[in-house]
Structure 1
């Protein structure tokens, strides 16, 4: 009996070790040459990336237990009971588009942005489960997307905010990499892409406040208050960020994941006002207040960056916290109304035009 138990335990340990060391989902590690460059960054200290201010990342054992129980325990309305309404878009509609700036929301933080005759994907998490294995995460609310990866036409650029599974998806990158001209990431994230056989020459890594050009588009990597990591030993080994995309006609802000802090006001002062801002509003909890915003803070962040229109994101696709799935949008719209702000609340797949003056708020989630 003892021998049998020992064999079973040994097999389990071996399986876990093999999973941790050989699963490509965990991505790659920076080279010594890359790390030497990271050390020049003000955001890199003691071999890890850091936030501008001290941020609490480690929960107590008690809070960790509460989080795990809350996540796996069946709770009312944390997931929609029915398939969410969504619109489809076809490949030709995307490939042939030459009009004004527009976006398509895929749920959570994934967008297709078309501006200045270029097609960009932002945080293309197009998979079904934001985890290194399907059994380790919660499934997407909708199984079908506005357009499947295989039907997407050529993509000019991909912008990635950080390396968490709900923003950087291994299978999505594998399916996309041969139809993408260039990838833009914060420092360190390029190592994952290289591990997944994306050509190094197709990757540009930026630090906070660095700017670059993709043809006629100006891309700016701006701060966020968050963290990173895909495995057990790589926390904060890559940088996290927000992004700005500037074309000849539009100035667009994407928050990535972030707790509320003064960087939003700084971004607004330097690069605002913005025609359109996509700001995270979901997966929050009192146990991790520094790394995700509550909906009321999302509204304030939109005011800080001087956004003419604000869209709440990071909701509508996955259960990653214990609040009801509609709590983010309900609290956001209520607070935005109190401040008399212009907001955008599209259903998944709906075409979004930042300069559309006729848009009216839709409450499709009710």
Structure 2
């Protein structure tokens, strides 16, 4: 456990010039709706004591192992999903990784918290030298401090949002490697343009540090392709504005998981994910933020099943690569419905138990 993080020992810069900063905290474009009576207590109780068994797979998920030899010869525009929101991409000859989480648990604790469904397809030590790390926000399922420190020696630059850069420096990342941006700001690295764009979410890693750092989505432009990385977000009007400014997108990496009727403000349901993809002017849709951690009350396979059905209904090209399977950003393949054999096996087993009971 990183005690300094949990106790909120985070020195912050002066962000008074940011329209998103209120003097101490960052805020969303659309204010959070007034909550109903005590939703937090009920949700927490259900999460701890009334969780369905199908929120976790009954057996390890299939993973395609990635070798260093494969990455050495990977063509330009290769993309590998490593788990949750961690994606490895080869852009303009350089490797980039989004929200790298390799920890066993998405938690400040090594002994408690959501545990991985599967091992990463490749270890940090086996990863190639990285042009950069791209971070959307500082929640534990997106910013793994141990992974970040292990990556520092093989990474040229860390691109992140306001305040998250301060957090990286406090963890020990050299300041000269850290660049942090407000919404609509960005930079170009080795011919690839990165722009931090709005998202509707929140931040924090410890006691009392809620919303002291900014969250964002990212637009990635190589000259040949445009990719959108959603980070974490609820559905909001900002998608249409991003699409207007930067679209259309060849590929959108969209949050599709950890949703719940009690928190649609900060996490999209699959129907909203598909609509956000349309708002952005997306062509191919790759659902992320699923298949690795148990972060809600829905079945672990529900994000895949629902987004497949919705995409088919609307004629949207959808790609669902297995963890570790290579995807070509310029010409994605549909992937297989790799989760279904385990899903069906688990459903039959659960039905048998209910019948016997």
Query: What TM-score results when the alignment is normalised by the length of structure 2?
Result: 0.91
Q: What residue in structure 1 maps to residue 277 of structure 2?
A: 302
Shift of 1:270: 0.6
Shift of 1:288: 0.8
Shift of 1:107: 1.7
**What is the root-mean-square deviation in Å for CA atoms of aligned residues?**
1.8
CA distance in 2 between partners of 1:198 and 1:190 (Å): 9
Shift of 1:361: 4.3
Q: What residue in structure 2 maps to residue 197 of structure 1?
A: 172
Shift of 1:93: 2.5
- The answer to whether the aligner puts 1:55 opposite 2:32 as a matched pair is yes
Q: What residue in structure 1 maps to residue 352 of structure 2?
A: none
- Is the Cα contact below 8 Å between 1:211 and 1:220 reproduced in 2? yes
CA distance in 2 between partners of 1:59 and 1:106 (Å): 37
Q: What residue in structure 1 maps to residue 353 of structure 2?
A: none
CA distance in 2 between partners of 1:148 and 1:60 (Å): 45
Q: What residue in structure 1 maps to residue 113 of structure 2?
A: 137
Shift of 1:56: 4.2
Give the secondary-structure state (helix, strand or coil) at the position aligned to 2:55.
Answer: coil
Q: Of the candidates 197, 217, 241, which is equivalent to residue 242 of structure 1?
A: 217
Q: What residue in structure 2 maps to residue 39 of structure 1?
A: 16
Q: Of the candidates 271, 288, 306, which is equivalent to residue 246 of structure 2?
A: 271
Per-residue CA deviation, residues 75-102 of structure 1 (Å, 9 max, x unaligned), is 23111111111111112322443x2312
Q: What residue in structure 1 maps to residue 127 of structure 2?
A: 152
Pair 138,114 (structure 1): closer, same or farther in 2 beyond 3 Å: same
CA distance in 2 between partners of 1:170 and 1:25 (Å): 12
Shift of 1:232: 1.5
Is 348-357 or 108-117 further displaced after alignment?
A: 348-357
Query: What TM-score results when the alignment is normalised by the length of structure 1?
Result: 0.89
Q: What residue in structure 2 maps to residue 29 of structure 1?
A: 10
Alignment length, in residue pairs? 340
Misfit runs of 4+, over 3 Å: 22-28, 56-63, 71-74
Q: What residue in structure 2 maps to residue 103 of structure 1?
A: 79
Shift of 1:25: 6.2
Shift of 1:72: 4.5
Give the secondary-structure state (helix, strand or coil) at the position aligned to 1:119.
Answer: strand
Q: What residue in structure 1 maps to residue 350 of structure 2?
A: none
Q: What residue in structure 2 maps to residue 122 of structure 1?
A: 98
Shift of 1:180: 0.6
Gaps of 5+ in 2: 341-357
Q: What residue in structure 1 maps to residue 346 of structure 2?
A: none
Shift of 1:27: 7.0
Q: What residue in structure 2 maps to residue 292 of structure 1?
A: 267
- Is the Cα contact below 8 Å between 1:57 and 1:288 reproduced in 2? no
Give the secondary-structure state (helix, strand or coil) at the position aligned to 2:278.
Answer: helix
